[in-house]
Structure formats: C-alpha cells, structure tokens
Amino acid sequence: MTLRSILPIDVTSLSPGAPATGMPIFELVDPRTLFVDEAYQRQISERGQRQIRRIVEGFDWTKFTPPVCAYSEDENGRTVLKVIDGQHCATAAASNPFVSEIPVQIVEAPDTEAQAKAFIGQNTDRLGVTKPQMFVASLAAGDEDAKTMAEVCARAGVRIRRMPPAGGSSYEPGESMSVAAIAALLKKGGAEHAKQVLTILARARLAPIKADHIKAVDALLTDPQFGTIDPEALPAHIEAQGTGALSEATVLAYSHTIPLWKGLAAVWFKKARKLRGGKPAQQSGLEAGDAGTQREGGAALAPAPGEPVRAPSHGYFANAQARREEPVGVGRQAEALTGGPEALTARPSSLPDDLVPDKRPALKGWRPGNQTCRCRQCDRRFVGGPGAKQCAPCAYGDDDEAR
C-alpha cells in the first residue's frame, strides 16, 4: 500500500481568507424533520425524482453525503433545521424505511439571505443547478445584479421560470429561462435597452423567450444594418410570422454556417423593415429582389433582351457575378452580419486552393467531408462534411501554429 500525506501547498502569493463563522457541527437527526426554503431552493424535478429512487434502491452509507443545514425559525416561531444543500439525499433517506437518522452538517446561517448565499456557494460549480435556479437564489440573497434583472423583466412583462414546465405542459407567452442571455444583454446595453428588447419579445407572445430571440432583437435594434427598424411594429411582425420564421432561419443558419440568431434577425428584418417614423422603407432588395432583376441603385427592372429570366433566390442570396447584381433579400442582411459574401455563397463544386481536406475522424462539432464550411469557434473556412460546425483543429485542440 502506498500512502501519501496531505501537505500544504505554497500560498506565499495568496491572501488566505479567515472563516467568517465558527466551525460547523455534526448531528444525527430524523430526515423527516428537515425543511427546505423555496425562496432559494429548487423544486425537485422529474429527473430529481428518478435520482432519489436510485438512491433509495441502492442506499449505501459509503456513498452518503451529509446534507448541509442551518438552524432557522418557521412561520410559527419554532426552531427548525433548513437544508441548504443535499435535499435529494435527505429526501431519499426520509423515503427509506431502513433509515431513521442521518448525519447532517450544521453551519451558521441565521437568516434567509445568509442561507441563500450558502446555497450559492455550495452549488456555483455544480452542473446540476441551472442558471435560473441560481438566479432565484441570488435574488433571495440580495444580489444587486439579480435584483436589476428581476426589475427589468417585471417591467418588460417577462417571467423567469425556475425550471421547465412539468408533465408535458407548455410554456406561457412571456416566460423565459434564458438568464445568461438576459444578463449579457444588461451588461452590453444597460437596463433601458434590455427592457426594450424584452418588451418586444413579450408583446410578440413568444413562448418561451429563448437566447436566440434575445440576440436577434438586440441586433435588429443596434446593428447599423438594421437602422430602419420600427421597434413599435416589430412585436406584431414577429408574432405574425410565428414558428415559420424559426424554420426559415434554421435553414439559413445551416446552409450558410452562421449562428441561428443571426439568421433569425435577417428573417424578421425581411418582414418588419420600416422607417422609425412608420413609413415604408425604400425598396432595396427585399421586395425588388422578388419582383425582377436587381440593378445597381436598387431599381427592379425587367430582364434585358437576350438575358435569361432570373430564377427565384428564396430571398437568401443571388449570384452577383453571374447576374451582375448585388445580393438581395435576407441574404444581404445575413452577409453583413457574417462579414462578407463568402459566408453565404453556395458551396463550390471544387475546393479553393487555400483549403485542404482534413481526414481526421469526427469529434465534437467536426465532421470530415468535402464541403466548404465556416468554423463557429474560430470563424475560419475549412473543408468538412454536412453538419460540421467546427474545424478539425478547433475540435482537436490544435495550436494556432498547427492550423
């Protein structure tokens, strides 16, 4: 047997923190006497129920982690133990008829705010706790950013759900679990801009409001390419398009290797483009592109004698070199978002000279093949297969020099 002692590491460059409270104590308690505070604790989901059943069936003290608890008072003034972390283990123990007592770790956290902060500290690095659940806990702990987000959402008519609807039920209009996207929106544009974006999505009755929706409307309101959008008319246009806009954006994003939110912004812009004063915008490729041949200057003209009739482009992209015209429709907007027409042109039958196929096996977002794609991580062109979202160097973690 080889034993290794626990030895301290070098902390000369660190500033060790002094514990703010006393050491925790351990007690044996009946798990059926414990409580949870729903002000910051997550509810037990269907997945959690399955986990509890597995613990009950395979209960083993060597695998048991004592729940972290704190003394508190209930609504009647009685002293009770609240579970800060470990409610699944505690519930499993309470459900097992062979377990009458469990050890619990009791820490100093006298009020709800202190307990919520302890919950956040216990769960910050755990994958099992979602962003919405952490948001609710942060709000209970008095976090200023969480309070700002809650106020902005309330003013915009958006309700953040702690977990998805159970039992096959659906989201209600205005509900969202995209806490990270809302936080990024607040950081980027401030509270008023975030309220404007979320109000548009709430009035459009989206259910749920997703991160791609938030990013798309943010782009429509702030990107110079979409400077003629009428914010007041946008909710009605988004609602009228329904799920068809998402389907069209999905095709656009897949075929041109761009993020879904960029495709969604382009599709919504096609229908909602108006001057801020409410007047129709000048015809500039969206309507004209569907009516005839797009000429320099934006006029829609009939084909010249001897010139082939223009085939429908589905609003995405017209071959500018072959037809001597500029890109039109949704393709023009998506082109501006991706930085150039090369991101939207049809994949060539022969590979460009600067691209070399990579034969390594599929990994993460990489798929081998013979199509020209664009990497969503490094934004470089590469040769890959259908559905490839990453180049091989990014997927395999190669150094920049190896690319």
At 186-206, the pLDDT tens digits run 999 999 999 999 999 999 999
Q: Tell me, yes or no, whether 384 lies in a domain.
A: yes
Residues 339 and 351 in one domain: no
Residues 334 and 369 in one domain: no
Residues 264 and 338 in one domain: yes
Distance separating alpha carbons of residues 193 and 319, to the nearest angstrom: 37
Residues 252 and 342 in one domain: yes
Report residue 328's pLDDT band, with 50, 70 and 90 as the boundaries: very low
Distance separating alpha carbons of residues 84 and 224, to the nearest angstrom: 48
Last residue within a domain, chosen from 91, 111, 131 = 111
Q: 10-14, 69-73, 103-107: which range is least confident on average? A: 69-73
Report residue 312's pLDDT band, with 50, 70 and 90 as the boundaries: very low
Last residue within a domain, chosen from 77, 111, 145 = 111
- Domain residues for the domain of 359 are 347-403
Report residue 158's pLDDT band, with 50, 70 and 90 as the boundaries: very high
Residues 319 and 352 in one domain: no
- Comparing 402 with 71, which gets the higher pLDDT? 71
Q: Tell me, yes or no, whether 57 lies in a domain.
A: yes
Look at the chain and report how many structural domains it folds into. Answer: 3
| pLDDT tens, position by position, 211-251 | 999 999 999 999 887 767 788 888 988 998 888 888 888 88
Is the Cβ–Cβ distance between 270 and 315 less than 8 Å? yes
Which pLDDT score, from 0 to 100, does residue 323 have? Answer: 33
Residues 281 and 324 in one domain: yes
Among 117, 105, 122, 170, CA closest to 146: 117
| pLDDT tens, position by position, 113-145 | 665 655 555 555 454 567 777 788 778 778 888
If one counts every other C-beta atom within 10 angstroms of the C-beta of residue 259, the result is 16
Burial-class residue 119 by CB neighbours within 10 Å (0-12, 13-18, 19+): buried
Write b or e for each residue in 134-173: b if 16 or more Cβ atoms lie within 10 A of its Cβ, otherwise e: bbbbbbbbebeebeebbebbeebebbbbbbeeeeeeebeb
Last residue within a domain, chosen from 77, 96, 111 = 111
Q: Tell me, yes or no, whether 207 lies in a domain.
A: no
Distance separating alpha carbons of residues 297 and 400, to the nearest angstrom: 43
Q: What percent of the chain has pLDDT over 90?
A: 27
Q: Tell me, yes or no, whether 247 lies in a domain.
A: yes
Residues 252 and 316 in one domain: yes
If one counts every other C-beta atom within 10 angstroms of the C-beta of residue 222, the result is 15
Q: Which CATH number goes with the domain that contains 64?
A: 3.90.1530.10
Q: What's the residue count for the chain?
A: 403
Residues 330 and 362 in one domain: no
Which pLDDT score, from 0 to 100, does residue 191 have? Answer: 92
Residues 335 and 321 in one domain: yes
Report residue 403's pLDDT band, with 50, 70 and 90 as the boundaries: very low
Which pLDDT score, from 0 to 100, does residue 307 have? Answer: 46
Q: Tell me, yes or no, whether 217 lies in a domain.
A: no
Q: Tell me, yes or no, whether 368 lies in a domain.
A: yes
Distance separating alpha carbons of residues 334 and 260, to the nearest angstrom: 11
| pLDDT tens, position by position, 333-390 | 555 554 443 344 334 344 555 577 888 888 888 888 888 888 888 778 888 888 888 8
Residues 268 and 295 in one domain: yes
Q: Tell me, yes or no, whether 155 lies in a domain.
A: no
Which pLDDT score, from 0 to 100, does residue 162 have? Answer: 80
Residues 247 and 337 in one domain: yes
Q: Tell me, yes or no, whether 121 lies in a domain.
A: no
Residues 358 and 370 in one domain: yes
